[in-house]
Structure 1
């Protein structure tokens, strides 16, 4: 993560005492392990897979994603992008990293219904549904993420790992309103990672919408693991790139807490640095440009 923080110029925020404090972030994933990097900052946990009351992660993916957003473990020289943010964990994927669309839909619906109490500002969805999914379920998923957006919650989704090639962004990443994130360093992936070079999902969508909007580091990311309370792990994918941007938005919302999702997206658009030769995304995002947009 030290490499990632340098690449996105995160120190600009930290030098100004901006760490994402007080920003509530929902993570829809495999759950979260009681890692020392999250101590005292996980506000709630809901299990839509087995309905267990106690927080857990039987895969490790969700813990890794949560760490990228805002973990903080000085003894391991580890810090996520927004180490002051607060977490709400929604387990929608099982031990194999698989799940049902209805679990994701139920979780987002519950977030919106209970948000007067929880005050969640961002939803991170490092989950991708394949094109082969039932069309009705696809549409329901797209509708619910746009609904959450319309209710004042920024939704960030991964572009999926089905690239290269056009129209390979997974659901719900193709949703029009939300912010979709791909990996800028997907060409660095090797077969040992289980990902092919150029794995990041690429647009445009069938409706000719540019997706993903933003590319962020996603390959060989060191974050929290589930082996021990201080354990770390290395993972790659757009699932790792999306929480980098989620953390950046948490920094933005600490500084400008009254921004609507549309205003957030407009600030990101104004701050973006175009990537030459890549017309299928807005570009790359830096913290300093974002905070000053």
Structure 2
């Protein structure tokens, strides 16, 4: 994460700033969240749409890793591996099982839940680092898209992964195709150039000549170190507290975390204003639009006075 923060130009002094407004609450729909020292005190609410458990858990590890990227405090790494917005709070919905599989019905139920609790927990951002393939029942895709757009209309910034089905034209995730979603692709810039498995080689891409041009932005996503749900504490010694994962799933909470920083500084900023600001401040990588969108996330420029 230290490399990531440098790459997307997060000003380190931002973490010592005293904000006038309260930390931003981010909802995360994923495989759940496990207890981890880096995430202690962040969770406001947990809801399980798979096994209906009342206690937080993550039997896959993906969701815990995503939450660490977003707001882990880096306690077990001396701050080196802290997430993008360590002050942020979390509302977590488990929509995927231990194999990382889920259903449209669970996702729809989760969207309805977020609409019900958004005011109670002051949810401002929704992070969706999961996707769906092409469904036989196309109406279900439309229903999910309508719910995501409804959340957006209720002033929740929906940040969604472009998916890992690239690099073909039009390979972007169906859930990420709406104009009322901030779609995140994956690119590591000058890093990992010699790695044949770098995330840009499979990041989902939009259609070159579509009216809705996607993705909107890219962020690093190759071998991102974050919280390991299956860490161990043996007599005060911590074993494997962090793990590396790759994909647009990892790039997405980087953008969500950046959004949390910006919306804490500018709490009255609308979703549309934030999207325009992302576009104007991104670093152009010289890649095709359907691969990079507006370019690489640039947090320093995002945080500059409007």
User: Cα distance, 1:164 vs. partner?
Assistant: 0.5
Superposition map of 1:69-218 within 5 A: 69-76=70-77, 77-185=80-188, 190=196, 198-204=201-207, 207-218=210-221
Correspondence 1:7 to 2:7 = yes
- What do the CA deviations read for 1:76-121 (whole angstroms, capped 9, x no partner)? 1320000110001100000000100121111111111222211100
Superposition map of 1:250-261 within 5 A: 250-261=260-271
Under a length normalisation based on structure 2, what TM-score does the superposition of the two structures give?
A: 0.89
Q: Which residue of 2 aligns with 1:17?
A: 17
- What do the CA deviations read for 1:154-177 (whole angstroms, capped 9, x no partner)? 000000000001100012111111
Whether the 8 Å contact between 1:122 and 1:156 is mirrored in structure 2 is: yes
CA distance in 1, matches of 2:270, 2:90: 20
Under a length normalisation based on structure 1, what TM-score does the superposition of the two structures give?
A: 0.93
**Cα separation, partners in 2 of 1:188 and 1:158, compared to 1, 3 Å:** farther
Structure 1 residue matching 2:113: 3-state secondary structure? helix
CA distance in 1, matches of 2:194, 2:26: 29
Superposition map of 1:43-54 within 5 A: 43-54=44-55
Whether the 8 Å contact between 2:28 and 2:127 is mirrored in structure 1 is: yes
CA distance in 1, matches of 2:194, 2:140: 34
**Cα separation, partners in 2 of 1:123 and 1:15, compared to 1, 3 Å:** closer
Aligned residues: 290
Q: Which moved more, 1:205-214 or 1:165-174?
A: 205-214
**Cα separation, partners in 2 of 1:160 and 1:206, compared to 1, 3 Å:** farther
CA distance in 2, matches of 1:270, 1:285: 10
RMSD: 2.1
Structure 1 residue matching 2:126: 3-state secondary structure? strand
CA distance in 2, matches of 1:137, 1:81: 33
CA distance in 2, matches of 1:110, 1:197: 33
CA distance in 2, matches of 1:116, 1:283: 33
Query: Which runs of no fewer than 5 residues in structure 1 stay unpaired?
Result: none
Q: 2:284 aligns with which of 263, 274, 284?
A: 274
Whether the 8 Å contact between 1:32 and 1:56 is mirrored in structure 2 is: yes
User: Cα distance, 1:3 vs. partner?
Assistant: 0.3
Structure 2 residue matching 1:273: 3-state secondary structure? coil
**Cα separation, partners in 2 of 1:61 and 1:53, compared to 1, 3 Å:** same
Query: Which runs of no fewer than 5 residues in structure 2 stay unpaired?
Result: 233-237
User: Cα distance, 1:73 vs. partner?
Assistant: 2.3
User: Cα distance, 1:25 vs. partner?
Assistant: 0.3
- What do the CA deviations read for 1:130-187 (whole angstroms, capped 9, x no partner)? 1235201100111110100000100000000000011000121111111000101386
Correspondence 1:285 to 2:297 = yes
User: Cα distance, 1:189 vs. partner?
Assistant: 5.2
Whether the 8 Å contact between 1:183 and 1:215 is mirrored in structure 2 is: yes
CA distance in 1, matches of 2:165, 2:69: 22
Q: Which residue of 1 aligns with 2:29?
A: 28
Structure 1 residue runs of 4 or more that deviate by more than 2 Å after TM superposition = 18-21, 185-191, 204-208
**Cα separation, partners in 2 of 1:255 and 1:51, compared to 1, 3 Å:** same
Whether the 8 Å contact between 2:186 and 2:199 is mirrored in structure 1 is: no
CA distance in 1, matches of 2:297, 2:18: 17
Q: Which moved more, 1:53-62 or 1:11-20?
A: 11-20
